[in-house]
Amino acid sequence: MSSSTATTTMTAEPPATAAFSASISKPSHSESKPPLPEPSPTRVKPSPPPEPTPAPKDAKEKSEPTLPANHTNELVDADIIDMVTFNQIIELDEDETHEFSNGMITAYFAQAEQTFKNMDIALNEEDLKKLSSLGHFLKGSSAALGLYKVQALCAKIQHNGQRRDEEKDENLTEEESLSRIKALRLHVKEEYDIAEKWLKKWYDTNTTAAPDEEDS
């Protein structure tokens, strides 16, 4: 046996030893670290639902301001009369007797009642010109007191007496005009009656008697 052969035999590792060395230098891919335990999920305590806001015991009391006992409800007043115009008339009074403005109101009542009577006569006579004139007259006096519904209806009587439909901008026949005025005459009297009742109640509630009347 030659010397080279003997050297190879001495340096070569047995197969079992080589496999063992390889297993130490190269870890097996099949081996893996044991899995770490998963952290237990943190349980969040749910927040309690918000408590409902209690409704007011009386919603009407909360929404409407408290007014003096002798004060009328302006939300209702505005459906009958223009309060800006009416308050301007009240400011002309010198004291709480409201003598000046009450005189104006009383005169208006007398004029209106007579105007309605004259309208009925003109309707019977089918006098459109007269009806137009009467509508114009009551329209102006009603506007001066802030009775805007009476004013608007009287304006329609005025225009229908002229055989005109101002809203549609067209002419009317005599029969159409008379028919419309008859219906308007009934409607305007209804609105007038409501306004008259409101005005009388206002003065009864807000008027202070003059000193000489209290003494008597």
- The predicted-structure confidence for 186-209, as pLDDT tens digits, reads as follows 999 999 999 999 999 999 999 988
The torsion of the CA quartet 60, 62, 68, 73, rounded to 10 degrees, works out to -40
| The pLDDT value given to residue 33 | 53
Which stretches of the chain drop beneath a pLDDT of 70?
1-76, 212-216
Give the sign of the dihedral formed by CA 52, CA 53, CA 58, CA 64: negative
For residue 211, the model assigns a pLDDT of: 72
- Where is 204: in which H helix or E strand? helix 174-206
Q: What is the pLDDT of residue 77?
A: 78
* pTM (two decimals): 0.64
pLDDT at 75: 41
pLDDT score recorded for residue 185: 97
pLDDT value at residue 209: 84
Q: What is the CA radius of gyration of the chain?
A: 50
Q: What pLDDT is stored for residue 47 in this prediction?
A: 60
Q: Residue 66: is it exposed, middle or buried by C-beta count within 10 angstroms (0-12/13-18/19+)?
A: exposed
- For 210, the token pair is 């003059």
pLDDT at residue 88 in the model = 96
Instruction: Please say whether the beta carbons of 131 and 164 come within 8 A.
Output: no
pLDDT score at 87: 95
| Residue among 162, 208, 198, 188 at smallest CA distance from 76 | 198
